[in-house]
Structure 1
Amino acid sequence: MNVVEKIITLEQQESVHLDPDRLGGLCTQLGDTNAVDVLCRTIEELALRLSNCERFWRQRNWVDLRKCAKSLVAISDQVGMTALARVAGDVVNTVDTGDVVATGATLSRLIRVGERSLTAIWDQQDLSV
């Protein structure tokens, strides 16, 4: 019998990219108070859509998964979450190719990047950038 002496656990960490110019532009365009309000509503919407993407994946609902991921691209790009927008676009591409395994892997990455992006925005003490 073989005995495993050492088990290695891989921890996947994703870097997030927030575009400070985009966030600053929101503050300039809307004013600090309105920009914070928009960002708070956007965070809630992104969290909901990330959850919906995961639900659509479990249901194997490719049409709605694609639509939901596509909406994540647009919303996250508007508030400067460039990494989230890019990975959501990757999910759309894998759904389009019909590669279920790649879609699952890319969706998992989307969830990780999404959680880190939302936390990064939320944790900023000064949203006016």
Structure 2
Amino acid sequence: MAQVSRFTCDEASALDPARIVVLYAQLGQVAAEHVISTTMEDIAQHLVAIEKSAKAHQWAKMIADLELMIALAEQIGLSSMVLVAQDLQSCIDANDHIAQAAVLARLMRLADRSLTEVWDLGDLRL
């Protein structure tokens, strides 16, 4: 008889709060908040595009959106998202569709937590 196991994915996001502090110091509160919110919206749009590209098997478009999303995530200190997105690029390059699906799901879970964490950090008004 087969036994079914249930796994929960509870990976903590890695946010570099120092990057947020630098943005506030360089740009001031209003401009930094604008940059952060705009960047987060852009990341969310790229994530949607990445999912659509994956479903349509448009690997080149998926890679292009991943590269843009990585640059945006680096800008606001989302280091875990950067690493997972780079892992996804490696899966696409290796033509490993099973690993790609798993890493894409991981990226989406991590993005949800990471973007929420940035919003929460922004509420602190650094």
TM-score (norm 1): 0.90
Question: How far is 1:9 from its partner?
Answer: 2.7
Specify the alignment match of 1:25 in structure 2: 22
Gaps of 5+ in 2: none
* Superposed counterparts of 1:1-129, under 5 Å: 8-124=5-121, 125-128=123-126
Counterparts of 1:39 and 1:50, CA distance in 2 = 16
Amino acid paired to 1:22: R
Counterparts of 1:107 and 1:47, CA distance in 2 = 14
Amino acid paired to 2:17: P
Gaps of 5+ in 1: none
Amino acid paired to 2:78: M
Counterparts of 1:127 and 1:84, CA distance in 2 = 23
Q: How many residues align?
A: 125
Question: How far is 1:83 from its partner?
Answer: 0.3
Counterparts of 2:107 and 2:67, CA distance in 1 = 12
> For each residue in 1:93-113, what CA deviation from the matched residue of structure 2 results, as whole angstroms up to 9, or x when unmatched?
111111111111111111111
Q: What fraction of aligned residue pairs are identical, expressed as a percent? A: 30
Counterparts of 1:30 and 1:65, CA distance in 2 = 32
Q: CA RMSD in A?
A: 1.5
Residues 14 and 116 in structure 1, CA contact (< 8 A), matched pair in contact too: no
Counterparts of 2:106 and 2:63, CA distance in 1 = 15
Amino acid paired to 1:69: L
- What's the secondary structure of 1:98's corresponding residue? coil
> For each residue in 1:107-126, what CA deviation from the matched residue of structure 2 results, as whole angstroms up to 9, or x when unmatched?
11111111110011112221
Q: Which one has the largest radius of gyration?
A: 1
